[in-house]
Amino acid sequence: MAKNKKEKVNSIEDVSVKQPTKEKKSRRSQVRSGYNKKKDLRWEKLDNTANLFPVIASQNVSNVYRVSVTLNEEIDEKILQKSVERVLPYFDVFNYRLKKGMFWYYFETNKRPVPKVQKEDTYPCMYINPQTNNEYLFRVTYYGKRINLEVFHVLTDGNGAFAFLKEITYQYLRYMHPEFKEMNVNGLQADTSLDKEDSYVKNYKKKAKKNYKTEKAVIIQGDKLPVNNMGIIHGYMDLAGVKTMAKKYNVTINQLLVATYIWSVYKECLNSMPDERPICVCVPVNLRPYFNSSTLRNFFAVVTASFKAKKDSYTYEDVVGIVADSLNKQINKENLENLLSYNVSNEKNKLIRGVPLVLKNFIMKIVYNKSARANTGTITNLGVISVADEYKAYIDKFHAMISMSKGQNVKGGICSYQNQLVFTFTSSIRDTAVQKTFFRKFTDEGVNVSIESNGVYYE
């Protein structure tokens, strides 16, 4: 394909296609063909979920999560930088900076240079300081063969982050491998959504009511790791084996994983004894399939898997059944729609809308601190990660991990790729009894598990 100018980086040709000449071409098709759009200054309201994150974010509670991809080759920093610069302009959701208004936070288009890719030299999910990051609310780092995308949750959830990460990865591989020119693979993938609608507002229904209550939950205690340290344990599990185990107990994979986490807390923190406090686990639910949405912005609801040890000696099967029943009652369109609508109704309340931001922040912090005592941990499952066929040979695995929050000292992030499920524990305490019991249960059931740690527990 003819080009007016040939651009090279380290002797690697740019595989992007010629810019289109038709001005009326749709924005989506412009993106597909590599159209280099101009950044117009715009502002956007935060979605319903995002409103909380700027209020509670701090050095200790970053509200930053990580998704990462491991390739079969070492990462070239210059090519990765060029890939981010190539892809970023088309993802409006990641092109924002956060501004403070009189009544609400809001987004404004960020016209500053793309943040620099850096070799990873800190712990994951650290606070993103906008002043040192060209006011962007994400960062891209690398280590060895791994590319990390870390995102302040105010921008999007894990589904949006994986969409961005995959496109960066595809572009990187196109720069690195001349054979993609012969395959004529250019631009963004056809199934990559660039939709940025506020699906919370779109699916809001009036007359929603609060249908949940909170009480003080079991907290996993232990000696704290040094400030800003994070313990990481990856468990690589045979996906077929996990499916067989889930079928044995007549539950979904997600129910099995959440129940096993609760079982591990029951065994290690309660010593299988009765307790008045429940073990409560936050389980984020991707709302897109329930409401036919493809938005890149946050669109999830949080349900709570709950188990209270009211008697002596619950079996593993008992716990799995109770947890699965708890989730089944909550994860259905009717309940999720009511939960979504109740949360949005607070935002739409005229009295609340007129309250100055400084007072809103004060109230939201009080509510957050109270609710933090009602949760033992969080388990988030980002599901099966699919990639375009032409890139599969170059990609080894994916990871997902979430940062610490008040009262929740051990969390879990899950994703699956090919025949492997990766369960990543993040922790702010040194004790790993819960994690060990969790993985031991799967090995006892015949599931192949291999463990990898960042070693912080032994320092």
Give 436-446 pLDDT, tens digit per residue. 999 999 999 99
Tell me which residue of 263, 275, 222 sits closest to 409, measured CA to CA: 222
Cα distance between residue 413 and residue 96, in whole Å: 26
Tell me what pLDDT residue 136 has. Answer: 98
Report, as an integer, the average pLDDT of 104-129: 95
State the pLDDT at residue 376. 97
Neighbours of 221 (CB within 10 A): 10
CA atoms within 13 A on the CB side of 214: 15
CA distance 274 to 308: 8
- Over pLDDT 70: what percentage of the chain? 90
Complete DSSP assignment for 69-131:
EEESS---HHHHHHHHHHHGGG-GGGSEEEEE-SSSEEEEE--SPPPPPEE--S-TT----GG
Please, is 163 exposed, middle or buried when counting C-beta atoms within 10 Å of its C-beta (0-12, 13-18, 19+)? buried
Q: Tell me: pLDDT of 36 over 70.
A: no
Nearest to 242 by CA among 254, 229, 228, 225: 254
* Confidence category of residue 38, pLDDT binned at 50, 70, 90: low
208 band by pLDDT with thresholds 50, 70 and 90: low
* Alpha helix segments (H runs only) across 146-292: 158-176, 179-183, 199-202, 239-248, 253-269, 288-291
- Each residue of 82-103: b (16+ CB within 10 Å) or e? bbbebbbbbbbbbbbbbeeeee
pLDDT at residue 25 is higher than 80: no
- As a whole number of angstroms, the distance between CA 66 and CA 125 comes to 6
pLDDT at 206: 81
Across the strands, what pairs with 426? 232, 411
Report the pLDDT averaged over residues 311-325: 96
pLDDT on residue 39: 60
Q: Are 372 and 405 in contact (CB under 8 A)?
A: yes
Q: Indicate the pTM of the whole model.
A: 0.90
* pLDDT the model gives residue 183: 81
Has residue 24 got a pLDDT over 60? Answer: no
pLDDT at 119 over 90: yes
Token pair 């686990």 in the structure block, residue: 281
- Cβ–Cβ < 8 Å for 424, 438: no
123 vs 133: CA distance, rounded Å: 17
Q: How confident is the model at residue 1 (pLDDT cuts 50, 70, 90)?
A: very low
CB atoms within 10 A of CB 387: 18
| Predicted confidence (pLDDT) at residue 17 exceeds the cutoff of 50 | no
Q: What is the pLDDT of residues 209-261, one digit of tens each?
A: 666 667 899 999 999 999 889 999 999 999 999 999 999 999 999 999 999 99
In this predicted structure, which of 119-133, 259-273, 279-293, 337-351 has the lowest mean pLDDT?
337-351
Tokens read off for 13: 């040709």
3-state secondary structure of 354: coil
Residues contacting 349, CB < 8 A, separation 6+: none
Residue 297 in this model has a pLDDT that exceeds 80? yes
Residues in a beta bridge with 233: 425, 453
User: What is the Cα–Cα distance from 401 to 238, expressed in whole angstroms?
Assistant: 19
Q: What is the mean pLDDT of residues 139-162?
A: 98
Phi and psi dihedrals of 69, rounded to 5? -130, 135
Residue 10 confidence (pLDDT): 31
Number of C-alpha atoms within 13 angstroms, CB side, residue 445? 24
pLDDT per residue as tens digits for the range 355-405: 888 888 888 888 888 888 899 999 999 999 999 999 999 999 999 999 999
- The mean-pLDDT minimum among 135-149, 153-167, 213-227, 285-299 falls in 213-227
Helix, strand, coil % in the chain, rounded to nearest 5: 35, 25, 40
